């Protein structure tokens, strides 16, 4: 793939849970008001203008309702006759029409506001999701080895939904609700008196306090539901990725039981969530109804005292019923924002984790002139209490091949991970053409190195896509040439869809040898000056290994090549062989020199030769036994009791 700038953590990202909502809003604001998108800024301005326009129309509706009611009441009392202007103009009809127009305006402006802001909100969601996704890729291999992939993807999915919820609720629900609450209090204070405004203020305060307490109770239930959901998703993904292993051991019932236990926890938590929601809604309805009843009782007393008209009674009722919708949203807003914060708290934890491997400030790109790789007194430990490499020093000259062999656990594969800078060394230096790899950019370093691993994992896409992953801009002709050099073009042409053949999840539709050839083709297409072969043939049979080795030899021609091998037969032709034991270079030299030395390498060689010889004898014995069985087999159409040499039935 072509190098891309390393993503860095955005300092304007939302703070971790527990921070004030205002701090979260300030952190989200750069994404809602993007400096590089004036078109989105205009949408934000129009959104707020439409917000005030919609609430202005909302306040007009109860007044028109009141005027229409008073006009009808006056006409019913005989005060409206043919001589009155109201009767001539048909005031009740006109005011009724005005009422309908006001409601249409209110609804139309609200929908236009929501439609305008949708692009702004989703742009913010996309940018934040991309920052999170890039940050996950920036984190170290250690982090990803410690996490379950299924759980990590669920964290990303829920965080994306949570960010969208927060943005939508704050701008499209909370802000309009606050504006309408202020307007209602002002209207009641001036159109009636302070008592009305006080009743509404007390009602809203009690409503908000109850909602806060109940929502806090529901947060713990929501967190448990999310944890059980993540656990169920992780178990499902883990089981399906290991489908063959499950079948090998007949563990379908065991896996189903594990998954069912997680889903049962999720079911229990979800039922509790819905039950608690029912209690919350009931409490909110009671509080609001008591406030509405008190307000209307005040209005009845004022009408009897002659201070208000019948239309005022209708106006108060209409205004409060109309206000109940955003007030109900106020409770939902708090619940949704709190629940969204629970959903994204795992994402905040990921974002708060600083990358273990970072580029040095102002680090230049790696410049490869020859490709000489050198390890200088390298020490490294995954765990501080257990050192893996203990002062390893060696050099891979430009264009030469050096092999690393040794017993399991000696630290062979660790060398390749350090060269790719998946981890930083504890002490010493690793250089390429004299440049310390810790002082150059990671992108340029990894662009210069090609890898053919033991376990090749392919993307669930076509063969062409997986080969082109080596260089994104490669043409079809270059992809086909890479396949030819990797000796996989014949297999590809034999498939019905050729290069468009789907390889399946992790490449499971291909055999081990076919996957390795795809990996080799991918590396050929990348055309790196430095090549690492990390036990690339150890999992293959002898025949396939021989074919793959031929392709690997072709790829490594003219390149600096580091071969990490388990089978010593694959490194006989290396320019130098290093024997790693207990984190140190125990022996080094050519194949012949190491055999003549009679040390650890010779012992490993003899042990493997004995194992191979035993396998060959076993295969030969099986072939002889099979041939003997065929020679003495009875014809299928002859009764054995009729044969002369058949034993007596007695």
Task: Please tell me the least confidently modeled range out of 405-414, 457-466, 608-617, 637-646.
Answer: 637-646
DSSP category for residue 391: E
Would you state the structure tokens that stand for residue 530, as one six-digit string?
């430095």
- 140 or 431, greater pLDDT: 431
DSSP run (H or E) holding 340: helix 310-352
CA separation (Å) from 576 to 129, 429, 592?
48, 21, 10
| Superfamily of domain 373-607 in the CATH hierarchy | P-loop containing nucleotide triphosphate hydrolases (3.40.50.300)
- Residue pair 2/528 in contact by the 8 Å Cβ criterion: no
For residue 431, is pLDDT > 90? Answer: yes
Q: How far apart are CA 488 and CA 522, in angstroms?
A: 11
Greater model confidence, 59 or 27: 59
Contact 131, 344 (CB under 8 A): no
Query: Cα separation of 471 and 523, whole Å?
Result: 9
Which position has the higher pLDDT, 93 or 449? 449
pLDDT on residue 2: 38
In the chain, which segments carry CATH 1.20.1560.10? 21-352
Orientation of helix 542-556 relative to helix 476-485, angle to 10° = 120
pLDDT of residue 73: 75
Query: For residue 317, what are its two tokens?
Result: 């009722």
pLDDT at 627: 66
Distance, in Å, from the CA atom of 471 to the CA atom of 522, rounded to the nearest integer, reads 8
- Per the rule left: phi > 0, alpha: psi between -120 and 50, beta: everything else, 521 is alpha
Every domain of the chain with CATH number 3.40.50.300 lies at: 373-607
Q: How confident is the model at residue 3 (pLDDT cuts 50, 70, 90)?
A: very low
Mean pLDDT rounded to a whole number for the chain: 77
The tokens for 166 are: 């927060």
H helix or E strand, kind and range, residue 373: strand 373-380
pTM reported for the whole predicted model: 0.60
Q: What is the mean pLDDT of residues 636-650?
A: 41
**Token pair of 220, please?**
């713990």
More confident: 406 or 435: 435
3-state secondary structure of 61: helix
Q: In b/e form, how buried is each residue of 514-541, taking b as 16+ CB within 10 angstroms?
A: bbbbbbbbbbbbbebbbbbbbbbbebbe
SS3 sequence of 210-236: HHHHHHHHHHHHHHHHHHHHHHHHHHH
**Which of the given ranges, 109-123, 264-278, 361-375, 474-488, has the highest pLDDT on average?**
361-375
Length of the chain, please? 650
Neighbours of 38 (CB within 10 A): 9
For residues 301 and 295, give the distance between their C-alpha atoms in angstroms, rounded to a whole number: 10
> 142-152, pLDDT tens digit by residue?
666 556 555 66
- Cα distance between residue 263 and residue 153, in whole Å: 18
pLDDT at 76: 60
**Are 586 and 411 spatial neighbours (Cβ–Cβ below 8 Å)?**
no
Is 650 buried (19+), middle (13-18) or exposed (0-12) by CB count in 10 A? exposed
pLDDT tier at 131 (50, 70, 90 boundaries)?
A: confident
- pLDDT category at 376 given cuts 50, 70, 90 is very high
Residue 392 near residue 381 (C-beta atoms within 8 A): no
Q: Which of 42-56, 422-436, 507-521 has the highest mean pLDDT?
A: 422-436
Q: Could you write out the DSSP letters of every residue in 583-650? A: TEEEEEE-HHHHHHHTSHHHHHHHHHHHHHHHHHHHHHHHHHHHHHHHHTPPPTTS-GGGSTTPPP--
* pLDDT of 637: 47
- CB contact set of 101 (below 8 Å; sequence gap of 6+): none
446, 526 Cβ separation under 8 angstroms:
no
- Give the closest residue to 176 by CA, choosing from 2, 286, 328, 397: 328
Separation of alpha carbons 478 and 474, rounded Å: 6
pLDDT at 58: 79
Domain 21-352 class, CATH top level: mainly alpha
From CA 52, how far away is CA 37, in angstroms rounded?
A: 24
């Amino acid at each position: 793939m072509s190098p891309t700038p390393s993503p860095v953590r955005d300092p304007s990202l939302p703070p971790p849970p527990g921070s004030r909502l205002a701090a979260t809003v300030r952190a989200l604001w750069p994404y809602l008001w993007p400096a590089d998108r004036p078109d989105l800024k205009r949408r934000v301005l129009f959104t707020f203008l439409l917000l005030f326009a919609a609430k202005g129309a909302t306040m007009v509706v109860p007044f028109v309702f009141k005027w229409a009611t008073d006009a009808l009441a006056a006409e019913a009392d005989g005060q409206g006759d043919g001589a009155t202007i109201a009767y001539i103009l048909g005031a009740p009809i006109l005011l009724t029409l005005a009422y309908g127009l006001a409601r249409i305006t209110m609804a139309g402006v609200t929908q236009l506001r929501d439609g305008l802001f949708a692009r702004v909100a989703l742009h913010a969601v996309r940018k934040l999701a991309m920052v999170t996704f890039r940050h996950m890729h920036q984190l170290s291999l250690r982090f990803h080895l410690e996490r379950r992939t299924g759980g990590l993807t669920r964290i990303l999915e829920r965080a994306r939904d949570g960010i969208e919820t927060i943005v939508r609720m704050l701008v499209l629900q909370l802000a309009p609700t606050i504006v309408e609450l202020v307007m209602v209090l002002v209207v009641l204070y001036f159109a009636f008196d302070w008592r009305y405004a006080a009743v509404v203020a007390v009602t809203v305060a009690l409503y908000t306090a109850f909602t806060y307490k109940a929502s806090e109770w529901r947060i713990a239930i929501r967190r448990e539901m999310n944890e059980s959901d993540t656990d169920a998703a992780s178990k499902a993904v883990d089981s399906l990725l290991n489908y063959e292993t499950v079948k090998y051991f007949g563990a379908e019932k065991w896996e189903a039981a594990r998954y069912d236990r997680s889903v049962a926890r999720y079911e229990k938590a979800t039922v509790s969530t819905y039950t608690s929601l029912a209690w919350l809604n009931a409490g909110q309805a009671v509080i609001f109804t008591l406030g509405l009843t008190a307000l209307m009782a005040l209005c009845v007393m004022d009408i009897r005292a002659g201070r208000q008209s019948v239309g005022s009674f209708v106006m108060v009722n209409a205004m409060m019923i109309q206000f109940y919708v955003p007030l109900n949203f106020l409770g939902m807003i708090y619940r949704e924002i709190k629940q969204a914060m629970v959903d994204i708290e795992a994402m905040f934890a990921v974002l708060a984790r600083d990358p273990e491997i970072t580029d040095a400030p102002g680090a230049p790109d790696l410049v490869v002139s020859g490709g000489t790789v050198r390890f200088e007194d390298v020490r490294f430990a995954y765990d501080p209490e257990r050192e893996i490499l203990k002062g390893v020093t060696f050099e891979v000259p430009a264009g030469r091949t050096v092999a690393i062999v040794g017993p399991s656990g000696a630290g062979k594969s660790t060398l390749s991970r350090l060269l790719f800078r998946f981890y930083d060394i504890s002490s010493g230096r690793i250089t390429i053409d004299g440049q310390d790899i810790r002082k150059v950019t990671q992108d340029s370093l990894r662009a210069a190195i090609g890898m053919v691993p033991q376990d090749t994992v392919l993307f669930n896409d076509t063969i062409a896509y997986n080969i082109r992953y080596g260089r994104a801009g490669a043409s079809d002709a270059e992809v086909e040439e890479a396949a030819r050099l990797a000796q996989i073009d014949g297999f590809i042409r034999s498939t019905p869809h050729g290069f468009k053949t789907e390889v399946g999840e992790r490449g499971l539709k291909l055999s081990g040898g076919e996957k390795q050839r795809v990996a080799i083709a991918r590396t050929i297409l990348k055309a790196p000056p430095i090549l690492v072969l990390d036990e690339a043939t150890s999992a293959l049979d002898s025949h396939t290994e021989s074919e793959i080795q031929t392709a690997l030899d072709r790829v490594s021609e003219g390149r600096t090549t580091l071969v990490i091998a388990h089978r010593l037969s694959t490194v006989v032709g290396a320019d130098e062989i290093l024997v790693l034991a207990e984190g140190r270079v125990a022996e080094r030299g050519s194949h012949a020199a190491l055999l003549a030395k009679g040390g650890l390498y010779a012992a490993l060689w003899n042990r493997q030769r004995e194992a191979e010889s035993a396998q060959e004898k076993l295969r030969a014995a099986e072939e002889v036994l099979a041939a003997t069985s065929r020679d003495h087999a009875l014809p299928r159409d002859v009764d054995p009791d009729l044969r002369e040499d058949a034993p007596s039935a007695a």
